[in-house]
Amino acid sequence: MDTSRLLRTFAIGIGAAGLLVSGCSGSPSPGPSGATGAAAPERLSSYYAQKLSWRDCGVEGFACTTMKAPRDYDRPDGGDVELAVSRKKATGPGERIGSLLVNPGGPGGSAIGYLQGYAALGYPAPVRARYDMVAIDPRGVARSEPVECLTGKEMDAYTQVDQTPDDEAEIQKLSGAFEKFAQGCEKRSGEILPYVSTADTARDMDILRSLLGDEKLHYVGASYGTFLGATYADLFPERVGRLVLDGAMDPSLKAVDMNRDQTAGFEGAFQSFAADCVEQPDCPLGTTSTADAAARLKQLFAELDAKPIPAGDDRKLGEPLATTGVIAAMYDEAAWPQLREALTGAQHSDGSGLLSLADSYYERDPSGTYANLMFANAAVNCLDLPPAFDGPAAVKKALPDFEKASPVFGRGFAWAALNCASWPTEPTGAPHRTEAKGADPIVVVGTTRDPATPYTWSQSLAEQLSSGTLLTYDGDGHTAYGRGSDCVDTAINTYLLEGTPPTDGKKCT
């Protein structure tokens, strides 16, 4: 299990675009304040003045292009990064409002993959009618100079390293796996690693906004995408248009606090799953109580730790991948029946169901090839915040708090948070309040039982933003827009189409 500091949003069910456990945030420094190419700061004028050359993507209805941005915003003459962009033009009827940028989360999720696979078809028709739907893969992600770290076989080994170590030998093996991962990133992608922060990507978004001809940025970000959107707002408050931040992060938290909060969030999600499971006749965790269900799941993990089971294609399912499979299903209650079936299979020495869930989480295809999701995730997170722990001793000290937050997942989540301790690039960000003074109204959406971005984070971000408006969804799962609540969808659609935010504190079911 490598769930450390990854946020995931499942827009189309398990395996869709987006991301999981824990995210982090960098402290943005003052950026350019120009709006169009002509008004851009002189040192960035060539980037704001470039012309986009659109071409057919090979996907019906979509055009693609690339844009350049400075690799290092502090030294804009020090070379470029090339970033991939895709667009589906407004369909009409109705007057075009502008471009609507979308980001599914991560860090590490492909915004273009999300746009082409879901948003441009799944967003409400009135929104698609009046906005050009646009996505840019952030620097280091997917089509935009992707960070690479390990081969497929190396990733297979990495995802199976025990993250609930029982002795010093296992602790050393886990620490070594994190070190090898970091060394692989430095070896294969060292040139770009210092320049993939969230603040860098937010500045890229402003160049794109200008090149698209929009005076203000309209944006829907989910999960980690909320931190990206909030960072943009803090850097360019006068350029904020209609911003929806769904499943919000709290930029004021330290990494260790963020990881511990998420640990409690996933415990809460498991409790919801368990309460539903014990009412089902096919529940593999018993039919008596959530406490019994938790005990049975922990026992299954212990058995898999001692002896992995067959999972098809000559692969084995041990505790790390089994835990990841369970966590993957916590993002969306629609996956609960699939999880019940997978757990039943595991109890009968068939690990294929849980392995399939874990593979979807890691974006591993049947050939053994991984998307760069996990690589970009670590690269951004380890740059955006100082590490949660600087070594095994710090993890050991924090274990009681993590195990209190989640008796089921706490131990594994604490050790997973050690992943940035060996990172080769120094962090450039720090916890900070995000106020975006002077911005137009920004809608922050929080789900009360969200596992990956706890509801308190949305409350905190809405309070920090000078123009923040909190919309609450009383429900399960990660994020709220487009997940079945007419109340939530109507409020957000009205804001996107008319510019009228919901009343602060509005609650939906």
Decide: 343 and 350 in contact? Cβ < 8 Å: no
Write down the catalytic residue from 450, 476, 485, 489.
450
Exactly one of 86, 210, 223, 458 is catalytic; which is it? 223
CB 9 within 8 A of CB 247: yes
What would the two tokens of residue 25 be? 């945030």
Residue 165, CB-side half-sphere exposure with 13 Å CA sphere: 21
Asked if 478 is an active-site residue, the reply is yes
98-103 and 217-222 beta bridge pairing: parallel
Strand 98-103 and strand 131-136: the pairing is parallel
Catalytic residue, candidates 189, 478, 485, 489: 478
Cα 341 from Cα 1, distance rounded (Å): 20
Tokens 């984070």 sit at which residue? Answer: 457
> CA–CA separation, 411 vs 171, rounded Å?
12
User: Are 496 and 129 spatial neighbours (Cβ–Cβ below 8 Å)?
Assistant: no
Tokens (6 digits) for 208: 């794109």
In 3-state terms, what secondary structure has residue 56? Answer: strand
Residue type at 132? D
**Is 450 labeled as catalytic in the residue annotation?**
yes
Instruction: Find the helix packing angle between 319-329 and 290-306, rounded to 10°.
Output: 150
For the chain, the helix, strand and coil percentages under 3-state DSSP, each to the nearest 5: 45, 15, 45
Nearest partner of 81 among 120, 50, 122, 36, judged by Cα:
50
Ramachandran category for residue 363: left, alpha or beta (phi over 0 → left; psi -120 to 50 → alpha): left
Three-state secondary-structure class, residue 285? coil
Q: Please give the single-letter amino acid code of residue 17.
A: A
- E-state strands within 302-355: 309-310, 316-317
> Which helix (H) or strand (E) element contains residue 449?
strand 442-449
Handedness of CA 297, 301, 307, 308 (dihedral sign): positive
Per-residue tokens: 139: 């620097």
Is residue 348 part of the annotated active site? The answer reads no
- The tokens for 78 are 């020090």
Long-range interactions of 360-368: CB distance < 8 A, separation 24+? 360/14, 360/15, 360/328, 361/8, 361/20, 361/324, 361/325, 361/327, 361/328, 362/155, 362/159, 362/324, 363/15, 364/152, 364/155, 364/156, 366/313, 367/152, 368/152, 368/153, 368/156
- Residues designated catalytic: 223, 450, 478
